[in-house]
A = this chain, B = another copy of it.
Amino acid sequence: MKIFQDIHNKVKELNLIEQRRDFHQYPEPGWAEFRTASIIAGKLRDYGFQVKVGKSIMGESRLGVPSADFLNSQYQRAFLQGGNPDFMESMKGGYTAVAGILNCGEGPVIAMRFDIDALDIEETTDPAHLPNIYDYRSKNNGVMHSCGHDGHATIGLGVAKIISELKQHFKGTIKLIFQPAEEGVRGAKSIATSGFLDDVDYIYACHLWSQLPLGHIICGMDGEIATTKYDAKFIGKEAHAGIDPDNGNNALLAAATAALNLHTQPMSSKGLSRVNVGKLNAGSGRNIIAGSATLCLETRGSNSLIDEQLMENSLKIIKNAADMYNCGLKLIPMGSAKAVTSDNEIAEVVKTIAEKIDIYENIIFKDIENRGSEDFTCMMERVKNNGGKACFIGIGANVNDSGHHTTTFDFNENALAPALETFLFTTYLLSNKR
């Protein structure tokens, strides 16, 4: 098709690598993507999209938001590093979601999700690491794009630019979502519950995989694991351990009992399940009955029901442990992802498309291998519950041996252009389907 050739030519003209390396140098942790998000918002506006930022597309259920002080300092840095002041103001306090809407007349509502956050990891100084060779290592100490979201954001901007240029060939409404705080599965829920997706017919997203060879594409990944994350704060009462320990309410022992009894839960006989207390911090002094304790918990399930029941039971255990020691309790939801299946309708289109793109020599239709959790599933679930279709696409981008979330993570920049074409071709076909 002529249009595919036009798209291909436009993709070749884009400098995807330059854009990716810019994002890579200025990584920002979840809910603090002030520079990244505001630059994206500016470009979407330039490309003719209606731009929505912050609270207008975010419900009140943001999870795992850092302290105001921390966000403030990040905001200052973003300002100094070239954040777009036109949009930063309305992102204050960590409202860093951005969406661009393009109206192409009658037709389906098609949404794409691109995540934009980085991780609290210090990038390696190994001279053989490509960002060091080509001088685009992270400029932000202790923060690194070590999961490829810099690539995802770059693809999203490419989608925006080219669709806007070829607008007359597309039908319906295009919604491009740039999501904050995917790491820790914290950000998607807020956008999903805002209602912004409730008219969406098709939604899709991709992930670049550093450990899947370049040339592989998975047209619909199904192995995502449902997970829920909570912090539990036990509020006890301090007392002198020597003089009147019986006047205290021991939050440390409450948390210790909670931790042990959370781990005695039998695993599900209906699928994979997991529970973990990964952190526990309690007490202020050796000779004081501990007046406070915090415990970080997660559950996982091969389906959402297993995960939900396990978390429900886990919270019950925690409540009883707190009450056992006369402690108050604050339960803070910190993250959530679902176990959702990609719809064949989209996956088949992706497969058809992938066969037309040179680089893809290994096209996998559906794959159930467990690759961890991903909060795009919260958006998928929302769209599917409203009768829409959803699909999560995996793209091979292997360049070295390093896994995701490591200090030496990298992905193959040659995966960017074909991934971008995959989005554009798929969107073209779905938008013109009827």
Contacts and interface: CB of A to CB of B under 8 A. Distances in A.
Interface of A: 184, 225, 227, 229, 241-248, 250, 252-253, 255-257, 259-261, 263-264, 266-270, 274, 276-290, 293, 296-298, 300, 313, 316-317, 320-321, 323-326, 334, 372-373
Contacts of A264: 250, 253, 260, 263-264
Q: Main SS of chain A's interface residues?
A: mixed
A285 B280 contact: no
B268 A259 contact: no
Give this chain's copy count: 4
Given A225-B242, A278-B283, A280-B282, 18 more contacts: A245-B267, A246-B268, A246-B269, A247-B269, A250-B263, A252-B259, A255-B256, A255-B280, A257-B257, A260-B261, A261-B325, A263-B266, A266-B289, A276-B289, A279-B282, A280-B283, A281-B281, A316-B326
B280 A281 contact: yes
22 contacts: A184-B286, A241-B278, A242-B274, A242-B276, A244-B269, A246-B266, A252-B278, A252-B279, A252-B280, A253-B264, A255-B280, A257-B257, A257-B260, A276-B286, A278-B286, A278-B288, A279-B282, A279-B284, A279-B290, A280-B280, A286-B297, A316-B324
A167 B156 CA distance: 82
Given A279-B283, A280-B282, A300-B242, A324 B334 contact: no
Contacts of A326: 313, 316
Contacts of A261: 253, 257, 260, 324-325
Given A252-B259, A253-B259, A264-B253, A274 B286 contact: no
